[in-house]
Amino acid sequence: MNVLKTYLSPTRISQPAVPRGKAGKRLEETSLSRVIRIFWTWKGLLLLVALLAPGQGYDTSTQIAFDQDQPKGSSSFVSQVIEYAVLRLTRWDAIYFASSSWRGPLYEQEWAFSWVFSRLSCKTANAFLWPLPCSEIARHALSGICLSHLSHFLAIIVLYHLIHSLIPSATLSFKRQLAFATACLHVFSPAGLFLSAPYAESTFALLSFLGCYCYVKAIENRYHRFADAYQLDACWTVAAGLSFGLATTMRTNGLLNGIIFAWDIYLVVPRLPQILRNRNGEEITRLFATLTSGISIAIGFTLPQIVAYTEYCTPNNTRPWCTAFPPSIYSFVQKEYWNVGLFRYWTLNNLPLFLLAAPLGYVMIATALSALLQTEKLYTSLAEKKIVETQNPHTIEREKRIFVHVLPRLAVPQLILVGMAVTGFHVQILNRISSGYVVWYIVLAVWIQMDSDALETVGEGSAEDEANARIREKKKKRFVGSMMGSAFAQRLRPEWLFRAMVMYALVQGGLYACFLPPA
């Protein structure tokens, strides 16, 4: 009887077995809490790099902007410390974000920078930072910095859970290893200090990852068999569209995420007459949710421009873009003030910037093509045969269908982004706007995990096991070569790329704080 009481006691039931020894240590090494510790350590290091930057910087634009509001500020020691730190992070485009947050968009070109992020920063500054003894513009810049840190922090959490949901595997440890590697790659993104400064990049990444996560959940329910799965599918699909729509208000390249839903609609169109004729409630609900998601993204793109149109396109004040079709202030100011356009950046003077963006551009193209064209091979590399044999066949098939469905759709926006950056953008910004795209993180994490597994297997076991392990290692290297698009990748080690990312982020952080390019 005592044994039965002990077995059924709430204390025993509520405390599941905790892995101990080597298994427990490995789970701890790949836990989300460890990612968070790494995140804040890295953020502190980047902040230290910025604070140690000498002087006011190569350009004094930030100081001039801060001096406009100096009479309203305080000359106390606390005020000087706050403004010193904020000054180092408010460079380049961050001046536009801070100024728009402080007094609203005054000049036409300021509409090139997220109006929604500026409004959010303004509300945050007025609600939470009003007691700080510093100038108004410094307070609004600090608000943007806080939002960027918070968004980046939440982005790594969402990304960790996204990978955990997407990766097909029966073992918790393998999912956690890939989720950990992917989240860490985002922490050490080449965007570096741009994810800490008052820019919209961090918030865009958060909303983009959240949209991807919701879409994965939608597809999970789409391939489930219970009765109301299609309703959950529709809800998650709409949530994904809303997240992508909000991401588009942060950066207009979020519009590319609409391709995900356009792909789904394209596959439904041939069957549409039959669906309507049979009055298939599940398919109609799914189609309606997909259309709603696409419309949400379109609204995220057009709403800020409608606000700008009502402000500038009045009978007494008409700008050239007001009569264009469509009347897009984004396109106009990018072309008018930054000379953005097809092949306009293709000049000899800009060759160093193309070379600067080339490594990450290559990685993004190669990983996107791998996810798009070699999805089955990528799935096979993730699904261990010995593990798969112990799984339910329905679970195996469902996980495979989810993975094969989602990954190519996420790859297409990334691939198109690189093409647009090379042909029409200021190409160097690819190193920071890449932070909001998930596929290159996933494929690099798979590469890192494969390399790590190969090294562990080679280092353990008998001579025969080591020989077999070396054969498997060669096969993995050949796969990596095909995955990364060239035989050259077979000779690369993933840690080299990771070290390059860290070094670039540190150097770029120091240059940014000194108001030096690249930006």
**pLDDT tens track for 345-369:** 999 999 999 999 999 999 999 999 9
Res. 466: pLDDT tops 90: no
**pLDDT tens track for 90-114:** 999 999 999 999 999 988 899 999 9
Using the Cα atoms of residue 216, residue 219, residue 224 and residue 230 in order, give the sign of their dihedral.
positive
Res. 183: pLDDT tops 70: yes
Selected residue with higher pLDDT from 110 and 12: 110
How is the chain split into domains, by residue range?
58-68+77-321+337-515
Res. 174: pLDDT tops 60: yes
Surface-to-core class of residue 190, CB atoms within 10 Å of its CB (0-12 exposed, 13-18 middle, 19+ buried): buried
pTM: 0.90
Helix spans in 224-314 (H): 229-250, 258-268, 272-278, 281-312
C-alpha 321/C-alpha 324 separation (Å) is 5
3-state class (DSSP) for residue 314: strand
C-alpha 168/C-alpha 398 separation (Å) is 9
Res. 12: pLDDT tops 50: no
Res. 30: pLDDT tops 80: yes
If pLDDT is split at 50, 70 and 90, which confidence band does 302 have? very high
Res. 471: pLDDT tops 60: no
Give the bridge partners for 314, in sequence order. 317
For position 29, what pLDDT does the model report?
A: 81
Residue 138 Ramachandran class (φ > 0 left, ψ -120 to 50 alpha, else beta): alpha
Q: For 424-436, what is the mean pLDDT?
A: 94
Percentages (nearest 5) of helix, strand, coil residues in the chain: 80, 0, 20
For position 333, what pLDDT does the model report?
A: 93
For position 361, what pLDDT does the model report?
A: 95
For position 464, what pLDDT does the model report?
A: 53
Q: For 211-226, what is the mean pLDDT?
A: 93
Res. 488: pLDDT tops 70: no
**pLDDT tens track for 333-344:** 999 999 899 999
For position 332, what pLDDT does the model report?
A: 92
If pLDDT is split at 50, 70 and 90, which confidence band does 127 have? very high
Residue that is written with structure tokens 């990748």 in the block: 489
If pLDDT is split at 50, 70 and 90, which confidence band does 324 have? confident
**pLDDT tens track for 43-63:** 999 999 999 988 777 777 888
Q: For 273-287, what is the mean pLDDT?
A: 91
Nearest to 429 by CA among 506, 351, 360, 509: 360
Nearest to 247 by CA among 291, 206, 217, 302: 206
If pLDDT is split at 50, 70 and 90, which confidence band does 296 have? very high
Selected residue with higher pLDDT from 477 and 91: 91
